[in-house]
């Protein structure tokens, strides 16, 4: 079945450091891919998405490119801020099941001043 694998956290970085959170997927067909972010005590917010191969999603300085050849959707940011501290979830949309999202296990990011 479809699945998403994320790098395990927690990840601790200093402010202005470069961030990469790896995400790979297994899916039949061509799912849409998403990154969601969960700030402490809050619900999930869509961060960015890509719907087909080679698409790049971007938002708030974060980027991820849909790589079909490596089945990956790694999240990157050039310079993190303390306010980016959150849990990040990679997900794919299971088109065969009303678009249910299949999530990775989440990666907790802590950014220190």
When asked if residue 34 is in the footprint of another protein (CB under 8 A), the reply is: yes
When asked if residue 106 is in the footprint of another protein (CB under 8 A), the reply is: yes
When asked if residue 105 is in the footprint of another protein (CB under 8 A), the reply is: yes
When asked if residue 12 is in the footprint of another protein (CB under 8 A), the reply is: no
When asked if residue 73 is in the footprint of another protein (CB under 8 A), the reply is: no
When asked if residue 85 is in the footprint of another protein (CB under 8 A), the reply is: no
When asked if residue 109 is in the footprint of another protein (CB under 8 A), the reply is: no
Three-class SS of the chain: CCEEEECCCCEEEECCCCEEECEEEECCCCCCEEEEEECCCCCEEEEEEECCCCCEEEECCEEEECECCCCECCEEECCCCHHHCEEEEEEEEEHHHCCEEEECCCEEEEEEC
Burial of 41 (0-12, 13-18, 19+ CB in 10 A): exposed
Residue with smaller CB distance to another protein, 8 or 16: 8
Binding another protein by CB under 8 A: which of 25, 32, 47, 74?
Answer: 32
Residue with smaller CB distance to another protein, 34 or 73: 34
Tokens matching residue 75? 């999240």
Binding region for another protein (CB under 8 A): 32, 34, 36, 38, 42-46, 49, 51, 87, 89, 93, 95, 97-103, 105-106, 108
């Amino acid at each position: 079945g479809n699945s998403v694998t994320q790098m395990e956290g927690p990840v601790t970085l200093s402010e202005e450091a470069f961030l990469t959170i790896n995400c790979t997927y297994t899916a039949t067909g061509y799912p849409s891919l998403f990154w969601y972010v969960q700030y402490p005590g809050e619900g999930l917010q869509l961060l960015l998405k890509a719907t087909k191969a080679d698409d790049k999603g971007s938002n708030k300085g974060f980027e991820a490119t849909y790589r079909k050849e490596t089945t990956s959707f790694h999240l990157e940011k050039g310079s993190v801020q303390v306010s980016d501290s959150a849990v990040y979830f990679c997900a794919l949309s299971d088109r065969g099941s009303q678009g249910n999202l299949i999530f990775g296990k989440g990666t907790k990011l802590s950014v220190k001043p």
